[in-house]
Chains A and B, each alone.
Chain A
Amino acid sequence: MEEWFVIKITDMVTLASTKLRTHRIWTIVFVVVEVLLVTTILTSVAVMRGVEKSLADFGSEGVNGRYMVEAINWRHGSGLENDRKVWDRAEELYEKYTAEHAAMARELGVDYFKDSEEVPTEYIDGERFFNSWTKYGRMALDEARNEAVPASGLPELEKLAEGYDVKQIFEISVKPASGSVRYLENGKEDLAKLARPNSSEQESLFGGVTVLADELMEYYLFPEYQYDDRNIPILMSYESMEKYLELEALPGDAGDEEKLERSRYLEDAARGRVISTCYRNNASRQGVFNAVAIMDEISRNKDNEGYVEPELVYDLPEMPCGAVGVAKDGRSEEQKKQAGLMEEYQKRIGEYEAPEQRIVKFEVIGLVHEVDRGVDLSSQNLWDILRSMTGAAIPSPAIPLSYYAENQEMIDGIFHTDYEDFLGFNEYYAVEFYDAGVAREFLAKESCVVDQNEGCATEEKPFLLAAWGNNSIAIDQIVSIGLRIIMCAIAVLVVFTMVSMGKTVARAIADDRREMAIFRAIGFERSSIMAIYLVYAILIGLIVVILAVVLTVIVGAGANVFFSERVTVFLQASFLTIDPTIRATVFLADGWIFVGILGLVLGVAVISSLVPIWVNMRRDLVKELKTE
């Protein structure tokens, strides 16, 4: 009788399929709900995978997708400005230097007026005030700040990053122009504009440069670019180029395609462009100011008979970026001697600067967008919030480190600072990590906390840390959270499937008790009947899986057809991509993940049906027949 232990699978399917019809209401309800759930999860997974792939593809450009943290040695705080010891020290410095200056003036025989030097502290209505912007006030503050927290640099950062898996550290130098660097409009220099205090629109293009590692810049460079010694290679922003070309900025609500079109236009316009500028140091610039001011004064008083022209009248240069000349020098020999002595006096006290001006040519080697990387949660538009998260930015205008290393003296002659960098904005670092999680941990654990009074840096935590270049660290976290949500949804699906499938099978068995008794009476073993209900559960699971796959494929195909192009344009405009061939993936059906989820659904359906099947199979055959 051993051959009767089982029935054929085809027979199981035949009998199990009758259950689908007998219990169709419950089966349909379960299948519909389950299909919607599974489809939702499969679609979410596919969309999430699409987002991941799109972020990876769009993030493959430049510094996109790299986990970078900027480290700023911010030692500035306003607390010391209220410290009476600093005030006293400022007074002490004031007294010391004014005494020295007075002695120097006496020695050279020039007039010295102590009142010409700003006092660091003064009494107003009997109350003492500290003038932190004055020369000696700033000197005292600098001393105090250096004493409070010594400056930290690369060695301190490397020490801080010990124990974290750091890929590399980049040194970034921001060099403000020490004077003015103004581009020449049609080869001419508008000196009247230069002399006007508020006309800084030209200078803003080259108000300073950032020296960046070549590796950080190379992606943004025009492919054919090769720099030479004639021009300073410069990576400019699209926005600066727009300003340089005197194009009106696009309105805020401009469409993505319009923005992309503008970017392509600017790239074409910038490629190979050489921008001639005039560099004037502060003394040269002051000379222009003085010349223009005197010329204005003479012009204003041309009808004033009582007006006496100054003895010394300057002549503006005829050549672009030329030196200011002397139009008329009516000074006496004594006056000239005094002027010479004053110049000598200024040299001795370190405040003399010889006028210097020259034409400096920049060659645009690439363009990069200026991106505010802060996430704009105040926007009412979800797309704007998402857009504010994407994109990458490196500082601009920027020159390659390799060029700077070879031409340091020339560059420093134009771009340098003469004040101490307590905010850490001029010399900072970008630490790159292999892993976003490690970058996040580094940020969370090692950053100093900004305090209005104390500044930020401490001896233990000398750097203010923040994401640099992009929001990849945050995006990575958002993707992880998304995946976790999907995992939770899958857990819910598993629980729902277990409960509802168990109930569906239990209900079917409860309804079929007498039928099962008949089957057993005519010779079916318990195991054969169990197998029929197991096949019933498998059939339901398969129906769910097949319908869910079909529905998901339809949704996915629809999503790709309707959204792929729009999302691509959105991401191109958001990430400000340079390579136009990168396409967005809206829906990515990852075969193995799908098989895993579908297998899970099927497995859970089968496993959850086992309990009611097993419980009901133990029922007494006669008892069920007796209910006849």
Chain B
Amino acid sequence: MLDGGLLDGTAVCLWGVSKAYGKSGVLSDVNLAIGEGDFVAIVGASGSGKSTLLHLMGGIDRPTSGRVEVFGEDIGRFGDNELAGFRNKIIGLVFQFFYLQPHLTVEKNLEIPCMPALLPKVERARRVRGVAEMVGMEDKLGFFPAMMSGGELQRVAIARALINRPKIIFADEPTGNLDDANTESVVRLLMEINREQGTTVVVVTHDERIAKLADRIIRLRDGGVVCD
């Protein structure tokens, strides 16, 4: 078990984290540290607790016991609004099904995370252009999601996760809905972001090919880390 307290250069630290829904335990006494700038893959069978682990690290859920620190902050102590602000500023989230607003253009979709941050219009526009260029979607800012392919949509979703310049990106099965070509493209994009921006990337996947591209693979089974 890791000692409690801040570890320099650590993005995420979990101390004795357990999670149960009712009487059913999902994670049990997980101790884990992810370094800043790491590209980490969390793999495991369905029901092994990998998404739950991602939710706990991403401040979406709270542990039943134990402590979660993200960039030195004990996020368990945050209230709901504080945690929402923390997620908005520090964390970028990428989902399997993209969840873009169908009636907003790519540009407006990218602006959504800027809204809670009350960023000025000019700054928003600058950031939108920046992330769009980063994911290669700068010429599709006026498009609506229905006009784009799955790979392009996931690129936009990644750009949306990047817009507030997060220190860490949590991607939950980001390629689960993509074909092989798009899968490779998206993974390469995440790796590029990790490498060029220094952004820590944590990817939950059941695809061993993706896991193998990561700096580190954490394997879960029955709610516990079995291999790191």
Contact residues of B between 74 and 95, Cβ < 8 Å to A: 80-82, 84-89, 93, 95
- Please list the residues of chain A having a beta carbon within 8 angstroms of any beta carbon in chain B: 1, 3-8, 11, 14-15, 17-18, 21-22, 514-515, 518-528, 621-622, 625-626, 628
List chain A residues, Cβ under 8 A from B127. none
B101 and A18 contacting across the interface, CB-CB below 8 Å: yes
Select one of A6, A14, A526, A628 contacting B104, CB under 8 A: A14
Task: Report the minimal beta-carbon distance from A165 to chain B, rounded to whole angstroms.
Answer: 63
Select one of B81, B82, B87, B115 contacting A7, CB under 8 A: B115
Give Cα A73–Cα B97 distance, bound, in whole angstroms. 91
A7 and B116 contacting across the interface, CB-CB below 8 Å: yes
Please tell me if B61 contacts chain A, counting CB pairs below 8 Å: yes
A8 and B99 contacting across the interface, CB-CB below 8 Å: no
Give Cα A622–Cα B56 distance, bound, in whole angstroms. 10
A518 and B116 contacting across the interface, CB-CB below 8 Å: no
B87 and A523 contacting across the interface, CB-CB below 8 Å: yes
List chain B residues, Cβ under 8 A from A520. 84
Select one of A4, A21, A527 contacting B103, CB under 8 A: A21
List chain A residues, Cβ under 8 A from B206. none
Q: Knowing that A7-B115, A18-B101, A628-B95 touch, tell me 20 more A-B residue pairs with CB under 8 angstroms.
A: A1-B81, A4-B84, A5-B81, A6-B118, A8-B118, A14-B104, A14-B108, A17-B103, A18-B103, A518-B95, A522-B160, A523-B117, A524-B88, A524-B116, A526-B80, A526-B81, A621-B60, A626-B51, A628-B97, A628-B172
Give Cα A334–Cα B203 distance, bound, in whole angstroms. 151
Please tell me if B112 contacts chain A, counting CB pairs below 8 Å: yes
Give Cα A14–Cα B112 distance, bound, in whole angstroms. 10
List chain B residues, Cβ under 8 A from A528. 115-116
Select one of A1, A22, A522, A621 contacting B112, CB under 8 A: A522
26 pairs, CB–CB < 8 Å, chain A vs chain B: A1-B86, A3-B117, A3-B118, A4-B81, A4-B84, A4-B88, A4-B117, A7-B115, A14-B108, A18-B102, A22-B103, A519-B112, A520-B84, A523-B84, A523-B85, A523-B87, A523-B116, A523-B117, A523-B164, A525-B80, A525-B84, A526-B80, A526-B81, A622-B61, A625-B55, A625-B60
Total interface residues in chain B, CB < 8 Å: 34
List chain A residues, Cβ under 8 A from B118. 3-4, 6-8
Select one of B61, B93, B102, B172 contacting A522, CB under 8 A: B93
List chain A residues, Cβ under 8 A from B115. 7-8, 11, 15, 524, 528
Ordered nearest first, which 4 A-B pairs have the shortest CB separation? A523-B88, A1-B85, A4-B85, A18-B103
Please tell me if B64 contacts chain A, counting CB pairs below 8 Å: no
- Please list the residues of chain B having a beta carbon within 8 angstroms of any beta carbon in chain A: 51, 55, 58, 60-61, 80-82, 84-89, 93, 95-97, 99, 101-104, 108, 112-113, 115-118, 160-161, 164, 172
List chain B residues, Cβ under 8 A from A8. 115, 118
A521 and B58 contacting across the interface, CB-CB below 8 Å: yes
B113 and A523 contacting across the interface, CB-CB below 8 Å: yes
B81 and A525 contacting across the interface, CB-CB below 8 Å: yes
Task: Report the minimal beta-carbon distance from B216 to chain A, rounded to whole angstroms.
Answer: 24
List chain B residues, Cβ under 8 A from A522. 87-88, 93, 112-113, 160-161
List chain B residues, Cβ under 8 A from A515. 99, 101
List chain B residues, Cβ under 8 A from A525. 80-81, 84-85, 116
List chain B residues, Cβ under 8 A from A527. 81
Task: Report the minimal beta-carbon distance from A452 to chain B, rounded to whole angstroms.
Answer: 80
Give Cα A1–Cα B118 distance, bound, in whole angstroms. 11
Give Cα A8–Cα B119 distance, bound, in whole angstroms. 9
Q: Which of A514, A527, A622 has the most CB of B within 10 A?
A: A622
Task: Report the minimal beta-carbon distance from A614 to chain B, rounded to whole angstroms.
Answer: 15
B81 and A622 contacting across the interface, CB-CB below 8 Å: no
Residue of B nearest to A522 (CB): B113
Task: Report the minimal beta-carbon distance from B210 to chain A, rounded to whole angstroms.
Answer: 18
Select one of A6, A514, A622 contacting B55, CB under 8 A: A622
List chain A residues, Cβ under 8 A from B161. 522
List chain B residues, Cβ under 8 A from A622. 55, 60-61
List chain B residues, Cβ under 8 A from A621. 60-61
Residue of A nearest to B101 (CB): A18
Task: Report the minimal beta-carbon distance from B48 to chain A, rounded to whole angstroms.
Answer: 15
Task: Report the minimal beta-carbon distance from A2 to chain B, rounded to whole angstroms.
Answer: 9
List chain B residues, Cβ under 8 A from A22. 102-103
Q: Which of A4, A527, A628 has the most CB of B within 10 A?
A: A4
Residue of B nearest to A526 (CB): B80
List chain A residues, Cβ under 8 A from B96. 628
Residue of A nearest to B113 (CB): A522
Task: Report the minimal beta-carbon distance from A101 to chain B, rounded to whole angstroms.
Answer: 111
Task: Report the minimal beta-carbon distance from A354 to chain B, rounded to whole angstroms.
Answer: 105
Residue of A nearest to B160 (CB): A522
List chain A residues, Cβ under 8 A from B85. 1, 4, 523, 525
Instruction: Given A14-B108, A18-B101, A622-B55, check contact A521 B81 (CB 8 Å).
Output: no
Give Cα A525–Cα B84 distance, bound, in whole angstroms. 6
Instruction: Given A515-B99, A622-B55, A625-B60, check contact A521 B93 (CB 8 Å).
Output: yes
List chain A residues, Cβ under 8 A from B108. 14
Select one of A14, A15, A17, A521 contacting B87, CB under 8 A: A521
Give Cα A72–Cα B161 distance, bound, in whole angstroms. 91
Task: Report the minimal beta-carbon distance from A10 to chain B, rounded to whole angstroms.
Answer: 9
List chain A residues, Cβ under 8 A from B112. 15, 519, 522
B55 and A4 contacting across the interface, CB-CB below 8 Å: no
Give Cα A580–Cα B86 distance, bound, in whole angstroms. 77
Task: Report the minimal beta-carbon distance from B207 to chain A, rounded to whole angstroms.
Answer: 17
Give Cα A491–Cα B86 distance, bound, in whole angstroms. 47
Give Cα A628–Cα B61 distance, bound, in whole angstroms. 15
Give Cα A521–Cα B80 distance, bound, in whole angstroms. 11
A1 and B87 contacting across the interface, CB-CB below 8 Å: no
